[in-house]
Amino acid sequence: MGRKKTPILDHLNVIKKMPESSHKHMRAARDRLIDILGIGKTYPLRDLDLTEELLKVSFNASAKISIEITQSDVLYSLYTKDGQPVLRAAGVPAESKGNGETLILETPAIAEEVTYKIRAAKIRTAIPDPESITFLHRTATVKVGLDVFLQAEIMDAELLDPTIESPAATDPRIIDYGARVNVKLKTSQEGVDYQLVALKKKNGNSESEEVALSDEPVRGTRRDILLQSHAVHEDTDIRIRATKTFDPGEDLPEDTKLLEVVLPLKVRANPDLPIVVVPAAIIDHGQDATLKIAETQESAVYRLYVRSVADRDYVHRSVNASEVIKVPVPGEPVVQVAKTERPEAWQEQEGYTPLAESRPGNGGDLNFSVKSLTDDSLIISQALKNHTVKEKEQVVRIIPSAIQLKSTALVLVRPDPAPALRLTVPVQGDKTSGTIRVVNGQPGVFYYFRRTQQGKDLGLPAYFHKRDDRDESQNKGLNQLKLGIDVVVTATPPAGSVGDTDDPAKIVPQPPILETGPLKTDSILYIRAVKAQTRVKTPLDVTAQIGVLPEIRPEQATVNSGSTARILVLASKAGDRYQLTLKGAPVKKARNGNGSDIVFITEPLSRDTTFEMIVTRPGEAGIAVERVVQLPVMVNTGI
């Protein structure tokens, strides 16, 4: 019997059942045998497997590409996708001879995603035969991780330290509260998403949490890109998070890291905090004012500055509300005072005095006390922040920034309820002459006189002019005695009283003279003080009692020339003091009343003379009242 033949189909079935690796080993062995016998021409196997067809490496790292079941007579080389040979450092080709097993080809450092082809060349001679060169069917794609060493800088923000001559991108910058910044990221990676973030300390915890500082991430393009921040309210170290997401089919996890660059950004204090007078903006003379700054920052320190309101600051016309501070006065027009000009950077304003106390913010309201105010006052606040400059996480210095809050507070102060007023009242018998001279009033205040607490005013008020706040030698105001809201006519200076100047601007106004009409000497006067600029008012704590006088007269209406005159005070009153004067100068020493008659004897007279008896009550509480009695004495010259 002859040998039974196996059908070709059966051979194919057997081959199919063999492992894939056995196929390749058998084909490689077959080709070697053919090459040795020289019975044909063979080519490298093209269907070799790559252990990893998709690799991922760190930025600027090399990849290792594994080729399985390599042929020992084949040279394997890396080529780019467009057919260019890949060189390692120093121009050495990325290639290696097969070893019959798995072969590793190492790539050069990779900075962006790349796909490699594997060239296989039979080594029959020292130089590969071009006819036996081919490329494997499979390619190797290498995905690149994140470059965390990209450079970045904050654009269009001032240097915290302007004295730096050659600033680095990482030197601290400073912006206004709530401003945004643009960060330029240089030579961004293509396909990588970038977002601004900050690391914030958790409350009561040393750990940090990451918060976003920008909205949607920006995709890298290999070029510079701009990242815009949210509004920034506190000192922040800006960081950049880079995220690379691979296609789902690539089966690679998302790659995300913080870039190494840190951009310190400092923020000035919030200028929009209101300064409010509590509980009310109108206070009594000499009272402490309480000022509240709301919603203070814990990172800031606050200090108040105070100055008196000058007459030129009051506004008595309709203006834009943004130009003035307003305080309503019950029953009177709203008081308007021009706002203090606010410089961009803090500087001490003319006329303002700082409070000794400065206080750190607490995240809530801060109350300050301004002691014993006697004038209408404007109050501003400085907000200061101390910014730390660090090197290697260590604080190396502190640089402050300061601003003036936009808000200005206005405190209106009522008139002094106990001024050192003194009234000079001419008296004729049991009535006054109808005028009262008022001295020692508070400058800038009208004094209204009444017979009863709620009665009608006795004529026009007495007003006391101010001196110019910038030049004490001059009277206050345009055209010197002009209030801007009213006209007050001063008394004409007595002849010869001008002194060294006839400049009206420098002549001190005469004390006001009230026209009250005749009043009984037992009258009590009630006085209401009203600020001229604000119409804020207060009743005086004390009254003015004119007081009944005893009979005061010359003993003789006419005396001979060269004789003395006797001035009598009949039944003088205890508590009164009597001073006889002539042209304002004492004639004799003052005498205290004691219930008995008092006699003043003058010097010899040679002409008609009018003496004045000034009667006061030194020990009586209340407003000082000088009652003046005219005492004419005729002189008989015998002509």
- For position 621, which CATH number holds? 2.60.40.10
> pLDDT tens digits for 297-327?
999 999 999 999 998 899 999 999 999 999 9
Q: In the structure, what pLDDT confidence band is assigned to residue 1 with cuts at 50, 70 and 90?
A: very low
pLDDT value at residue 340: 86
Q: In the structure, what pLDDT confidence band is assigned to residue 247 with cuts at 50, 70 and 90?
A: confident
Alpha helices in 53-210 (DSSP H): none
Question: Is the overall model pTM greater than 0.75, yes or no?
Answer: yes
Q: What are 365's two structure tokens? A: 């309201």
Tell whether 66 and 186 lie within a shared domain: no
Q: What are 283's two structure tokens? A: 């206070």
- Asked if residue 220 belongs to a domain, the reply is yes
Of 14-28, 115-129, 411-425, 490-504, which one has max mean pLDDT?
A: 411-425
Q: Give the C-alpha separation, 22 to 100, whole Å.
A: 12
Tell whether 81 and 161 lie within a shared domain: no
Answer yes or no: are the C-beta atoms of 292 and 278 closer than 8 Å: yes
Eight-class DSSP state of 332: S
Tell whether 310 and 224 lie within a shared domain: no
pLDDT value at residue 18: 52
Q: In the chain, pLDDT over 90 holds for what percent of residues?
A: 67
- Asked if residue 303 belongs to a domain, the reply is yes
Tell whether 83 and 161 lie within a shared domain: no
* Single-letter amino acid, residue 581: T
pLDDT value at residue 10: 46
- Asked if residue 88 belongs to a domain, the reply is yes
- Asked if residue 178 belongs to a domain, the reply is yes
Residue with tokens 């994140």: 146
Q: In the chain, pLDDT over 70 holds for what percent of residues?
A: 87
Tell whether 576 and 613 lie within a shared domain: yes
pLDDT value at residue 211: 94
Neighbouring residues of 80: CB distance < 8 A, sequence distance ≥ 6: 86, 114, 115, 116, 117
**Alpha carbon distances (Å) from 89 to 81, 103, 144, 595, 625:** 20, 20, 19, 127, 110
Q: What is the mean pLDDT of residues 196-205?
A: 82
From 107, 123, 144, give the residue that closes a domain.
Answer: 144
Tell whether 171 and 134 lie within a shared domain: no
Q: Give the C-alpha separation, 342 to 422, whole Å.
A: 43
Tell whether 161 and 280 lie within a shared domain: no
The three-state secondary structure class of 132 is helix
Nearest of 106, 73, 103, 104 to residue 87 by alpha carbon: 106
Neighbouring residues of 599: CB distance < 8 A, sequence distance ≥ 6: 555, 566, 567, 568, 569
> pLDDT tens digits for 529-585?
999 999 999 999 999 999 999 999 999 999 999 999 999 999 999 999 999 999 999
Owning domain of residue 629? 552-636
Nearest of 265, 248, 43, 229 to residue 132 by alpha carbon: 43
Mode of pairing for the β-strands spanning 324-327 and 335-338: antiparallel
- Asked if residue 428 belongs to a domain, the reply is no
Q: What stretches of 123-185 adopt beta strand conformation (E)?
A: 133-144, 152-155, 158-159, 173-175, 182-185
Nearest of 171, 113, 118 to residue 144 by alpha carbon: 113
Answer yes or no: are the C-beta atoms of 269 and 403 closer than 8 Å: yes
pLDDT value at residue 378: 97
Q: 277 vs 465, which has greater pLDDT?
A: 277
Q: What is the mean pLDDT of residues 251-262?
A: 89
Q: Bridge-partner residues for 615, per DSSP?
A: 578, 627
Tell whether 184 and 55 lie within a shared domain: no
What total of structural domains would you count in the chain?
A: 4
Tell whether 127 and 184 lie within a shared domain: no
- Asked if residue 184 belongs to a domain, the reply is yes
Instruction: Phi first, then psi: give them for residue 282, nearest 5 degrees.
Output: -115, 120
From 413, 436, 457, give the residue that closes a domain.
Answer: 413
Q: In the structure, what pLDDT confidence band is assigned to residue 491 with cuts at 50, 70 and 90?
A: low
Assign residue 31 a region: left if phi > 0, alpha if psi is -120 to 50, beta otherwise? alpha
pLDDT value at residue 442: 95
Tell whether 31 and 133 lie within a shared domain: yes
Eight-class DSSP state of 218: E
* Single-letter amino acid, residue 434: G
Answer yes or no: are the C-beta atoms of 231 and 180 closer than 8 Å: yes
Tell whether 298 and 407 lie within a shared domain: yes
- Asked if residue 527 belongs to a domain, the reply is no
pLDDT value at residue 29: 76
From 221, 239, 267, give the residue that closes a domain.
Answer: 267
- Asked if residue 584 belongs to a domain, the reply is yes
Which H/E stretch holds residue 78? strand 74-80
Of 56-70, 119-133, 395-409, 484-498, which one has max mean pLDDT?
A: 395-409
Q: How far is CA 630 from the centre of its chain?
A: 66
Q: What is the DSSP string of 576-632?
A: -EEEEEETTEESS--EE--SS-EEEE----SS-EEEEEEEE-TT--SSEEEEEEEEE
pLDDT value at residue 39: 79
Q: What are 155's two structure tokens? A: 């654009």
Q: Which burial class, exposed, middle or buried, applies to 504 when counting CB atoms under 10 A from its CB (0-12, 13-18, 19+)? A: middle
The three-state secondary structure class of 186 is coil
Tell whether 204 and 327 lie within a shared domain: no
Q: Give the C-alpha separation, 587 to 537, whole Å.
A: 41
Q: What is the CA radius of gyration of the chain?
A: 51
The CATH number given to whatever domain includes residue 257 is 2.60.40
Q: Give the C-alpha separation, 134 to 254, whole Å.
A: 36
The overall average pLDDT reported for the chain is: 88
pLDDT value at residue 601: 95
